[in-house]
Amino acid sequence: MAFSLIGDDTCQFIAPTPLPDPYWIAVSPEAAELVGISLDSNQLPQDPDWLAILAGNPAELGQRLFSKPMATAYSGHQFGHWAGQLGDGRAILLGELNHQELQLKGAGMTRYSRMGDGRAVLRSSIREFLCSEAMHALGIPTTRALSLVGSKQAVRRETMETAAVCSRLAPSFIRIGHFEHYAANGLHVRLQELAAYLIEAHYPECKSSNTPYLALFKAISARNAKCVAHWQAVGFCHGVLNSDNISALGLTMDYGPFGFLDHTALDHICNHTDSGGRYAYHRQPKIMHWNMACLANAMVPLVEMESPGQDAAEILRAALSDFPPEYEAKWLTLFRGKLGLQIDTPDDMDLIEALLQLMHANQADFTNAFRSLSKVQKKDAHSNWRDQFLDRDAADAWLSQYRTRLQQESNSDAERAAQMNCVNPKFILRNHLAQRAIENAQQDDFTEVNRLQRILSRPFEDQPGFEQYALAPLPDEVVTDLSCSS
């Protein structure tokens, strides 16, 4: 965390605990390029020291730029309840490369590990590596994954598994939980320094405001509103939208029991630990709004400083009301694009929501239903698109409304199809694909991990020969047992 408020009340300087006998599993070429790491013909770093560095070897770290690795303290609300102090219990921040913070997840115990062992297991590390880079390729704000390093070190979860370290990149890993931690502990100077750093480094537009802290709150809220709109547009379910898992930069972070919708279920719950469905797909926007309320509560002391004599809580409540229209505007823009609509009409919201309800009622595949919609033509009444729905009459009725709406657009069918195929992916990280890669990797075969990474780096291209990776899972391939255990 590249800001000056470092000390015993905010972080612990601690070296990673290295993985014994580490080996490469995968490296993201795009992420490596982002931080200036050259790769060889095998898509591995040319400098052999990077394996030891990204496995957490402190001797190698000391010879590089990473002289003061640290774990940070934060607090937060988990499943709607105040959890108190949390922190980087298994993630250690090494430092910066090319304006990107480099963090090792699964790097060993810290003072914030509580009852944990500080490690991450292979299966969850594969999922985080693949999804971080897949989300980036989809154009969704996210932390990045540079590499995945494995080891035969045994780790106990529900069963005995092996350890891995996923190296993560972000302009900053500051969370809403950092604000909550400083506010809850009365660390108002730290809170002020944290906000000042964010404004200087990541929200410079706030500096010109007469109330920069309020402007910062509005900017963080707006970014997260847009981020969750992106999730809804691709059918992504985060699974654990606790306030400590929310980025202050509006990035998707902390990939745990996530999942993309296969058969459309608007109330889908991807995390079986979430028995009440708090973080179900259709509730994600409201939960993100709730998390922004947690941020607002933590920022009350800051707004009091810059607006003395005024009701800071009321000022922030008013600012919080900007979240729903920010989200709705972005959601509508994204879904208009998915339907190939370039002009705005008052009935577009109804048309989109009718489609989502149709897909939900018929359990149509979320990704494929949108992708194949580009083949519908303005004047041709026949379309195979209807064959994805059990209720063909309902599908035909919606198609009739859609074609009527398309008459208002000036572009050709071919132009519209090209535009739609740039925003409706053909390939997503489906759980059954990730599970297949994990099972192979547990047998020391990492071919599928690397193949998936390559396919998902080009989600909007047809990629002949890999059509099976675009298919919905068969009934016996559906993966439902995802939890917070990693």
Catalytic residue ranges: 244
Per the rule left: phi > 0, alpha: psi between -120 and 50, beta: everything else, 139 is left
Element (H, E) at 13: strand 11-13
> What angle in degrees, to the nearest 10, is found between the helix axes of 348-362 and 323-338?
70
Report CA Rg, the chain: 23
The residue type at 348: D
Nearest to 230 by CA among 254, 251, 208, 199: 251
Residues 338 and 361: their CA atoms lie apart, in Å, by 20
The answer for residues whose C-beta is within 8 angstroms of residue 359's C-beta and 6 or more apart is 264, 366, 369
Residues 426 and 262: their CA atoms lie apart, in Å, by 12
Nearest to 337 by CA among 230, 461, 235, 458: 230
DSSP string across 308-357: TTS-HHHHHHHHHTTHHHHHHHHHHHHHHHHTT--S--TTHHHHHHHHHH
Which token pair is 277? 């469905």
Which token pair is 127? 């999922």
CA distances from 70 to 7, 145, 202 (A): 10, 19, 21
Which token pair is 144? 């990045």
Nearest to 35 by CA among 148, 146, 139: 146
User: Are 44 and 25 within 8 A, CB to CB?
Assistant: no
Residues 270 and 256: their CA atoms lie apart, in Å, by 10
User: Are 16 and 69 within 8 A, CB to CB?
Assistant: yes
Which token pair is 138? 């989809």
Residues 23 and 403: their CA atoms lie apart, in Å, by 54
User: Are 232 and 284 within 8 A, CB to CB?
Assistant: yes
Residues 361 and 394: their CA atoms lie apart, in Å, by 10
User: Are 53 and 64 within 8 A, CB to CB?
Assistant: yes
Residues 262 and 138: their CA atoms lie apart, in Å, by 17
Partners of 340 in the β-ladder: none
